Structure 1
Amino acid sequence: MKLNQDNYYSVEANQQFFSVSQYKDFMKCEAMALAKIRGEYRPAMTKAMLTGSFVDTYFEGTLDSFMKEHPEVFTRKKELRSEYRKANEIIQRVTEDKLFAQFMSGEKQRIMTFEMFGVPWKMKMDSYLPGICITDLKVVVNFRSLPLWRYDLQGAVYQEGVRLNTGEQLPFYLAVATKERVTDLDIFQITQPVLDIALREVEINIQHFMRVKEGLEDPSCCGKCDYCKGIKGAKIRDYSELLEGIR
């Protein structure tokens, strides 16, 4: 299957290829990840996700299409809601910064496919500068939240994907802007030792995840995510377990 901007997120593409987001879904809950791949479950788009996508699509050059597809970004008066006005402020802030603009000046939304650890992968880069670097754009609550999202895994897979396609091992950067009252922005490099450890982690886990995806092993359920809550049946529980950590 040859991927393009139209079919990259299709059910067929997700069934044929692994991606970083799919891998992270398996880390959270295997049952949920499998349901998403099969097209049986589609999590709701949160305001935080929409705000990030608003900024992303600006750099992709598809913001007008995004706003048509998501009329919820507007009030009844056809004005942008407050969180998306903030997104506009972020866009203005980052485009006026020379260093930020430099890192985001590469080829936008470059798709690559490759085989890694015996598994087919796909990836789409926010800004790809051949021979120089890979940059991914992130809009976050604050800088301190960055490590919680495991962007080291994304950097490791993207770096290895470029290497397998081109022979070049390029540094990986995050171009980050915050949603704080006053937008903060910086460029964060994820160092090579951190990327190497993350890639090793992927290598250790991916075969099990692939067997689950192919139906060769049963998926585990986390029991806590929205998908698990939606399919669970009621059971009798001890009230005392709710008091743990309260007393």
Structure 2
Amino acid sequence: MGSSQFKNFMRCEAAALAEIRGEYQREVTDALLVGSYIDAHFEGTLDVFNAQHKEIFKKDGELKVQYRQAEKMIQRAERSELFMQFMSGDKQVIMTGGIAGVPFKIKIDSYCADKCIVDLKCVRDFQLIWNSEKQQRQHFINYWGYDIQGAIYREIVRQNTGKTLPFYIAAVTKEAEPDLDVLWVPDDDLDSSLETVMNLVPRFQQIKEGKLTPQRCEHCGYCRFTKVLTAPRNYHEDCEVYEVE
């Protein structure tokens, strides 16, 4: 299992299993491709990426506007000495291990041996994001589960090296004038996130093995795609009621 698959199971068990079985595929959006474009640049594999994704080019061979913006984000990142210092480690380092008896595989964007683990992220901006399920605004690191990813990475690196290294997010925004930052995820946060992983991953593994029935979230694209109507509903079920004193 990888961190992305684990987070998919956290969002919707049914959708995650359907993806693994090839029964459902999430839409590949421009936002995802822009992130992959920037990842490929820092990996040194941009030529391969361009060859595999002709859709990012216009008919005249120029990059579409989203990917010209990606170039601007790259240029902004490369003007920052600190940002590039954190991105100067070994690229796409693969390590394997296990958590709660479940095999894990990770791929690190920038691994600075004996110093730190760095993951590159492209985000819309640095504003807090509203989480409708939890009814609160969250930092993008928590909203997108990057603290979970960091906990998995730190633990697998520890198993391979014997060292517990700090985890950083090197982030650049997709704004017209890109912003950037290097963010440290505190060890206490990673400890808590690792507990979450250890508690949930045995169930997720059993679902993968067909031993448990996955739960549906009833909100994601997969659940909408496979939704079966059985009877009319009272629309009041969808209304939130607030008491005013």
Give the structure-1-normalised TM-score.
Answer: 0.89
Report deviation, 1:220: 0.9
Q: Which residue of 2 aligns with 1:56?
A: 39
Instruction: Please give the alpha-carbon distance, in whole angstroms, between the structure 1 residues aligned to 2:71 and 2:83.
Output: 16
Taking a change above 3 Å as real, the CA distance of residues 246 and 79 of structure 1, as seen in their structure-2 partners, is farther
Does residue 1:237 correspond to 2:237, yes or no? no
Does residue 1:43 correspond to 2:49, yes or no? no
Instruction: Please give the alpha-carbon distance, in whole angstroms, between the structure 2 residues aligned to 1:84 and 1:182.
Output: 14
Instruction: Please give the alpha-carbon distance, in whole angstroms, between the structure 2 residues aligned to 1:242 and 1:82.
Output: 43
How many residue pairs get aligned? The number is 230
Does residue 1:71 correspond to 2:68, yes or no? no
Instruction: Please give the alpha-carbon distance, in whole angstroms, between the structure 1 residues aligned to 2:152 and 2:238.
Output: 42
- Where has structure 1 moved over 4 Å in runs of 4 or more? none
Report deviation, 1:239: 5.4
Letter in structure 2 aligned against 1:96: R
1:146 corresponds to which of 117, 141, 159: 141
SS of equivalent residue, structure 1 residue 105: coil
Does residue 1:220 correspond to 2:203, yes or no? no
Does residue 1:185 correspond to 2:180, yes or no? yes
SS of equivalent residue, structure 1 residue 216: coil
Q: CA RMSD in A?
A: 1.6
2:202 corresponds to which of 203, 207, 217: 207
Instruction: Please give the alpha-carbon distance, in whole angstroms, between the structure 2 residues aligned to 1:246 and 1:47.
Output: 38
Does residue 1:21 correspond to 2:4, yes or no? yes
Is the Cα contact below 8 Å between 1:140 and 1:146 reproduced in 2?
Answer: no
Q: Which residue of 2 aligns with 1:159?
A: 154
Q: Which residue of 2 aligns with 1:120?
A: 103
**Per-residue Cα deviation, 1:123-162 (whole angstroms, up to 9, x for no partner):** 0000001100000000001123333111110111100000
Instruction: Please give the alpha-carbon distance, in whole angstroms, between the structure 2 residues aligned to 1:19 and 1:165.
Output: 16
Instruction: Please give the alpha-carbon distance, in whole angstroms, between the structure 1 residues aligned to 2:199 and 2:9.
Output: 13
Is the Cα contact below 8 Å between 2:2 and 2:106 reproduced in 1?
Answer: yes
**Per-residue Cα deviation, 1:18-53 (whole angstroms, up to 9, x for no partner):** 111111111111111111112222212111101111
Letter in structure 1 aligned against 2:164: Q
Instruction: Please give the alpha-carbon distance, in whole angstroms, between the structure 2 residues aligned to 1:33 and 1:240.
Output: 29
Give the structure-2-normalised TM-score.
Answer: 0.89
Letter in structure 2 aligned against 1:204: N
Report deviation, 1:243: 6.2
SS of equivalent residue, structure 2 residue 149: helix
Taking a change above 3 Å as real, the CA distance of residues 243 and 131 of structure 1, as seen in their structure-2 partners, is closer
Q: Which residue of 1 aligns with 2:135?
A: none
Instruction: Please give the alpha-carbon distance, in whole angstroms, between the structure 1 residues aligned to 2:193 and 2:107.
Output: 19
**Per-residue Cα deviation, 1:44-77 (whole angstroms, up to 9, x for no partner):** 2111101111100001111111112111111222
SS of equivalent residue, structure 1 residue 40: coil
Letter in structure 2 aligned against 1:207: P
Bigger CA drift: 106-115 or 75-84?
A: 75-84
Is the Cα contact below 8 Å between 1:136 and 1:173 reproduced in 2?
Answer: yes
Q: Which residue of 1 aligns with 2:131?
A: none
Report deviation, 1:237: 2.6
Structure holding more strand per residue: 2
Is the Cα contact below 8 Å between 2:141 and 2:147 reproduced in 1?
Answer: no
Report deviation, 1:242: 7.4
2:63 corresponds to which of 51, 56, 80: 80
Is the Cα contact below 8 Å between 2:96 and 2:105 reproduced in 1?
Answer: yes
Report deviation, 1:103: 0.2
Structure holding more helix per residue: 1
Q: Which stretches in structure 1 are left out of the alignment for 5+ residues? A: 1-17
